[in-house]
Amino acid sequence: MSSCGRARKRDFRLMPLAAALTLACASASAAAPVGNFGVAMPATWVPGDHSGVAALMRALHAVGAKPRPIVPLPAVTTPVTSCADDDGSGSLRSVVTAAGEGDTIDLSALTCSVITLSQGAIPVMLNDLTVIGPGSGKLAIDGAGADRAFVHYGYGTLTLSALTVRNGASRVSGYHIAGGACILSGGYVTLDHSTVSGCVSSGEGAYGGGILARGVTLYTSTLSANVAMGSHPDTFTAAYGGGAFAYRGTAALYDSTVSGNRSSFNPTDTHGSYDTGGGIFADNGGYALRSTIEGNYSFGSGGGIASHGGFFVTDSTISGNTAKGKGGGGMFVRLFDAMSVNNSTIAHNSALKGGGMYVSGFPQAIALQSTIVADNVASAGAADIAAATEQTLSGANNLVIAAAAAVTLPGDTRHAEPKLMPLANNGGPTRTHALSVGSPAVDVGNNVANLVIDQRGAGFPRVLGAAADIGAYEGTLAPQVLMPVPAASTWLLGLLAGVLGWFGLRDLRRVA
């Protein structure tokens, strides 16, 4: 029996990703994994073909999850009672190892603020598992900048609720690929009231700074300050999805924030880079509802969102994102099907072209309803919406200041300055751009999506007044005026000095 055959008979349950990938024995066309974090780049790889991330997924699935039982066992909830990262009783690592399909791991009773992973990533050898914490601000699972936090080998869903996962790392050198520096999954990842932050993937190909999975779903959660970095001094590199990469699947955001993530390359490299999706990259499109994508950066295209399928945006804000070298500061979409943007605000993004939105691919049905796309910046061409080929947008009641000649907007589109307030916490879980008093977006929008609330959520109706306002925010907010501090008169300053002097003299007498 070959060494590869012997390896497959070993028990992978206690192995971190490094050992498991080393024993995965990928096919002859894909070189064996090297190092702690990735697999060899396929010889046929070209930028943008995804064969690199496919090789990583194949290596992951070569180890595989335990098969689901024919007769499912009752799911159980098991508490974690230790904050240590060891195989001792009650530790997170040992409880996950002993879990069964569909079980829940409960960390909510822990009083520590962090579990630092000293033994590398925690392997999840199951299809479906839920991990519940005491709150994202109360407990963090920390990769310590040395390895990933979780590696999920299954085809089902890894759900993380009420906790933070941070400081994961997936760094490789040479002709190798990295990805999912905090969470790598062969299936799907769901975040519920959770945060993934400060994770770094770096390699010739880097796929998903924070998360790499077939599908990614966020409920009232945050992806922040994660990095996907292409790094190789002697060849072209690729970096996709600074915050998350949904491979061959979709990304869905509900009441969530994607902020400060980056998809870029090592500036010391000289052969160029293919960088896409500073915040999110979705292979097959996605959905954003009542969410904010802000301050993300891509050296290439799609500063906030990049998608190779229709991305549906409703009651959401896309603001302050940058696509430095290509198109789509806010959104880059390669269309193969329909998409829509409803009651949303896309503003203050920048790119080479299409600072707000850039659309490529085949002309498809794109609907823009009651949406602001304005105050964006492009160094070449139209600032707000641009397209690679002629695109006709349907819809009504929009405000778009500048669109490219290839883009035909609905006939009633307004082109006035919307008078947006700065991005701020105006209520609800996500930040929004309020409308200033006198904004031309007030009471001239529509609500064809039949929304009950605006982006801020419960307590903030979608329609106030004669009609809905254009954009994600309903209502107006008066600009804050800084009131000058009145100058004190001479006699008041003299009185104040006398009082202070009297107290000082009294204290000196007490000391004496």
Q: For the ranges 3-17, 183-197, 202-216, 289-303, which has the lowest average pLDDT? A: 3-17
Average pLDDT of the residues of the chain = 85
Residue 250 reports pLDDT greater than 80: yes
381: left (phi over 0), alpha (psi -120 to 50) or beta: left
Q: For the ranges 85-99, 184-198, 493-507, which has the lowest average pLDDT? A: 493-507
> Which run of H or of E encompasses 219?
strand 215-219
**3-class secondary structure per residue, 126-148:** CCCEEEECCCCCCCEEECCCCCC
Residue 379 reports pLDDT greater than 50: yes
CA distance 422 to 128: 42
CA distance 177 to 160: 25
Query: Distance of CA 144 to CAs 34, 110, 119, 126, 194, Å?
Result: 21, 20, 10, 24, 18
Query: Distance of CA 120 to CAs 182, 190, 204, 300, 339, Å?
Result: 11, 22, 22, 32, 41
Q: 338: exposed, middle or buried (C-beta count within 10 Å: 0-12, 13-18, 19+)?
A: middle
pLDDT in tens, 133-173: 999 999 999 999 999 999 999 999 999 999 999 999 999 88
> Which run of H or of E encompasses 124?
strand 122-124
pLDDT band at 1 (very low <50, low <70, confident <90, very high): very low
* Per-residue tokens: 14: 């206690």
pLDDT band at 48 (very low <50, low <70, confident <90, very high): low
CA distance 482 to 479: 10
The maximal CA–CA distance of the chain, rounded, in angstroms, is 99
CA distance 228 to 280: 11
* Per-residue tokens: 291: 């969410």
CA distance 223 to 219: 11
pLDDT band at 42 (very low <50, low <70, confident <90, very high): low
The alpha-carbon radius of gyration of the chain (Å, integer) is 26
Coil/strand/helix, residue 260: coil
Looking at per-residue confidence, does 60 or 7 come out higher?
Answer: 60
Give the residue from 375, 371, 392 showing the smallest Cα distance to 446: 371
Average pLDDT for residues 491-508, to the nearest whole number? 43
pLDDT at position 94 is: 97
Q: What is the DSSP string of 37-91?
A: TBEEPPTT--TTS-HHHHHHHHHHHHH-PPPPPSSPPPP-EEE----S-SSSTT-
All residues at 6 or more sequence positions from 167 whose CB lies less than 8 Å from its CB, including other chains: 142, 143, 144, 145, 182, 198, 199
CA distance 396 to 315: 16
Give the residue from 241, 174, 165 showing the smallest Cα distance to 197: 165
pLDDT in tens, 117-135: 999 999 999 999 999 999 9
CA distance 439 to 378: 24
Residue 33 reports pLDDT greater than 90: no
Q: In this structure, what DSSP letter does residue 96 have?
A: H
Contact 296, 240 (CB under 8 A): no
Q: Torsion over CA of 355, 361, 366 and 370, rounded to 10 degrees?
A: -10
pLDDT band at 61 (very low <50, low <70, confident <90, very high): confident
Which of 33-42, 55-64, 170-179 is the most confident on average?
170-179
pLDDT at position 49 is: 60
Looking at per-residue confidence, does 324 or 511 come out higher?
Answer: 324
Looking at per-residue confidence, does 300 or 172 come out higher?
Answer: 300
- Phi, psi (rounded to 5 degrees) for 31: -65, 155
In total, the chain counts a number of residues equal to 512
* Per-residue tokens: 507: 């204290």
- Phi, psi (rounded to 5 degrees) for 244: -155, 150
CA distance 28 to 45: 15
Q: In this structure, what DSSP letter does residue 488 have?
A: P
Average pLDDT for residues 18-41, to the nearest whole number? 36
Average pLDDT for residues 483-506, to the nearest whole number? 44
Query: Distance of CA 314 to CAs 271, 338, 339, 446, 487, Å?
Result: 39, 15, 11, 13, 49
How is the chain split into domains, by residue range? 3-63, 77-387
pLDDT band at 285 (very low <50, low <70, confident <90, very high): very high
Contact 275, 302 (CB under 8 A): no
The b-or-e profile of 91-117 (16+ CB within 10 A means b, else e) is bbbbbbeebbbbbbbbbeebeeebbeb
pLDDT band at 8 (very low <50, low <70, confident <90, very high): very low
pLDDT at position 40 is: 63
Residue 29 reports pLDDT greater than 60: no
